[in-house]
């Protein structure tokens, strides 16, 4: 409760400002230069965080070809978990801390051995030290047929040389990679196994899918049913 102070003639006087709120402060607006500096700090921090996430955790990749049909379609955009197999130097791709190893069936993004500045995406078929052979489209590992539910074949009148391959033994620290679209995939059958040092990460989810053909009506180009689909 606020009491009015009386003078000697009993006339009340108004309370002083300090008596009402002795801690009242007046905020001084930031100058234009100070505001620009604050926004610059926020933008710089956001860029640094984005680069760290892209370098060590998650990176987006675009699917430009049909070598992984039907798992990936041309125009899919995929998030890749770069932490799947370890923490790498973002400039040299050299492993710093190994977390795990690719397993048969993993869909992996890696640097193309013949052109390391190009990224490829394929499925792991053969592990280090294993014997891999393909006979009439059936994949054999260590002379035993393996389940291959993701393999996709386009029937043609001409024989496909890729349907018979090997045998070969996968080198140590390397992996035999094949595209799911077996008749139209440039993979380990053509250029050999992929060294672990070239691995970028394991494909995780499709975050965007867009039909690239210009003839398709604009509103029908988004493959909405593929958005968020987990890569199997």
Domain-by-domain residue ranges, the chain?
Answer: 47-226
Among residues 82, 111, 122, 202, the one annotated as catalytic is 122
- Annotated active-site residue in 67, 84, 185, 193: 67
Q: What is the CATH number of domain 47-226?
A: 2.10.109.10
Write down the pLDDT at residue 169.
97
Q: Write out the H or E segment, with its range, that includes residue 206.
A: strand 199-209
65 classed as catalytic = no
Please tell me whether residue 197 adopts helix, strand or coil conformation: helix
| Of 99, 114, 115, 128, nearest in space to 201 by CA | 99
Give the tens place of pLDDT for each residue, 192-215.
999 998 998 899 999 989 888 877
Q: What is the pLDDT of residue 46?
A: 61
Q: Is 203 exposed, middle or buried (0-12, 13-18, 19+ CB in 10 A)?
A: buried
Most confident of 135-144, 153-162, 221-230: 135-144
Instruction: Please state, rounded to an integer, the average pLDDT across all residues of the chain.
Output: 80
What confidence tens digit (pLDDT) does each residue in 145-159 have? 999 999 998 866 656
Question: 122 catalytic, yes or no?
Answer: yes
Nearest-angstrom CA–CA distance, 57 and 79: 10
């Amino acid at each position: 409760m606020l009491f009015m102070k009386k003078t000697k003639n009993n006339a009340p006087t108004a309370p002083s400002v300090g008596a009402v709120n002795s801690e009242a402060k007046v905020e001084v607006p930031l100058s234009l230069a100070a505001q620009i500096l604050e926004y610059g700090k926020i933008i710089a921090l956001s860029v640094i965080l984005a680069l760290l996430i892209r370098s060590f955790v998650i990176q987006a990749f675009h699917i430009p070809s049909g070598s992984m049909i039907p798992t990936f379609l041309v125009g899919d955009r995929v998030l890749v978990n770069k932490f799947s197999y370890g923490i790498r130097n973002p400039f040299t791709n050299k492993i710093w801390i190994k977390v795990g190893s690719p397993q048969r069936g993993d869909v992996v993004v890696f640097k193309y051995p013949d052109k390391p500045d190009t990224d490829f995406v394929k499925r792991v078929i053969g592990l280090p030290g294993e014997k891999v052979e393909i006979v009439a489209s059936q994949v054999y590992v260590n002379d035993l047929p393996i389940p291959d539910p993701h393999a996709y074949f386009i029937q043609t009148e001409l024989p496909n040389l890729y349907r018979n391959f090997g045998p070969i033994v996968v080198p140590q620290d390397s992996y035999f990679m094949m595209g799911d679209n077996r008749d139209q995939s440039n993979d380990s059958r053509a250029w050999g196994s992929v060294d672990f040092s070239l691995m970028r990460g394991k494909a995780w989810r499709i975050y965007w899918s867009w039909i690239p053909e210009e003839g398709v009506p604009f509103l029908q180009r988004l493959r909405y049913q593929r958005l968020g689909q987990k890569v199997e």
